[in-house]
C-alpha cells in the first residue's frame, strides 16, 4: 500500500483554513498542521471524504454541506431549564457556552440563547449547524499511526493526554 496519498488508517497532517460566510473561523496558521487519523471520524465527514486520495503537498478547496458537516440546524434543539437548576456561581448571560451532562452522563454542548426571570433557554445546536463550510486544505505529511493511536482511534499529540 503506497503511503503517499491520504487513505483510511493513515495519520494525515494538514494545513487548513475554514471559512463560513466569507469569515475565516479557524485555521492552522500559527498552531501548526492539524493531525487526524483518516477513517475514524476525527474530522467532519464531508471534508474527510474529499481528502481521500490527495497527495503530500497537494491542496484543495472543499465545500461541505451542513449534512456532511455539523448537521442541519434543528429547530427542536432548544430546551428551557429552570434557573434554579443552574449552579449559583455560574455566569448566566446570553451567548455563554456550557457543557451540559445529559441523563446518560454524556457531555453535550449548549449555548444560552435567552433568559427570563424563571428560566434559561439553551440551544443545543452546534454553533456551525446549518452552515456551509468552506475549507482550504493542504496535505503536509502522512505517516502510519502507532499501535496505541489505532487502538484509540485518534492521534496522540505530544503533551496531550486524553
Classify residue 155 by burial, with Cβ atoms within 10 Å: 0-12, 13-18, 19+.
Answer: buried
Average pLDDT value for residue range 157-161: 54
Whether the per-residue pLDDT at 160 is higher than 80: the answer is: no
Strand boundaries in 10-132, DSSP class E: 11-20, 23-27, 34-37, 59-64, 78-82, 97-101, 107-115, 119-123
Quote the number of domains for the chain.
2
Q: Is residue 46 part of a domain?
A: yes
* Cβ atoms 135, 36 nearer than 8 A: no
Pair 19, 43 in one domain: yes
Q: What is the mean pLDDT of the chain?
A: 92
* Nearest by Cα to 154 from 56, 43, 69: 43
On the question of pLDDT at 161 being above 70, the answer is: no
pLDDT for position 106? 84
pLDDT tens-digit profile of 128-153? 999 999 999 999 999 999 999 999 99
97 and 49 in a common domain: no
Interatomic CA distance for residues 76 and 138, integer angstroms: 37
Q: What is the rounded CA–CA span in Å between residue 122 and residue 94?
A: 9
Are both 94 and 59 inside the same structural domain?
no
Q: What is the CATH number of the domain that holds 15?
A: 3.10.50.40
21 with 58, same domain?
Answer: yes
Question: Domain for residue 161, yes or no?
Answer: no
What domain range includes position 134? 11-70+129-152
Neighbours of 46 (CB within 10 A): 19
**Is there a domain that residue 135 lies in?**
yes
pLDDT band for 39, please (50, 70, 90 cuts): very high
Amino acid at each position: 500500500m503506497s503511503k503517499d496519498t491520504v487513505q483510511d488508517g493513515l495519520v494525515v497532517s494538514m494545513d487548513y483554513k475554514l471559512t463560513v460566510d466569507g469569515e475565516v473561523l479557524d485555521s492552522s496558521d500559527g498552531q501548526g498542521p492539524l493531525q487526524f487519523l483518516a477513517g475514524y471520524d476525527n474530522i467532519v465527514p464531508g471534508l474527510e471524504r474529499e481528502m481521500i486520495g490527495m497527495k503530500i503537498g497537494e491542496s484543495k478547496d472543499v465545500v461541505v454541506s451542513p449534512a456532511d458537516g455539523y448537521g442541519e440546524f434543528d429547530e427542536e434543539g432548544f430546551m428551557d431549564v429552570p434557573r434554579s437548576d443552574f449552579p449559583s456561581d455560574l455566569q448566566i448571560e446570553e451567548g455563554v457556552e456550557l457543557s451540559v451532562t445529559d441523563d446518560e452522563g454524556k457531555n453535550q454542548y449548549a449555548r444560552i440563547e435567552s433568559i427570563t426571570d424563571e428560566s434559561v433557554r439553551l440551544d443545543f445546536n452546534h454553533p456551525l449547524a446549518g452552515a456551509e463550510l468552506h475549507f482550504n486544505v493542504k496535505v503536509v505529511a502522512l505517516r502510519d499511526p502507532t499501535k496505541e493511536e489505532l487502538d484509540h482511534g485518534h492521534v496522540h499529540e505530544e503533551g496531550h493526554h486524553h
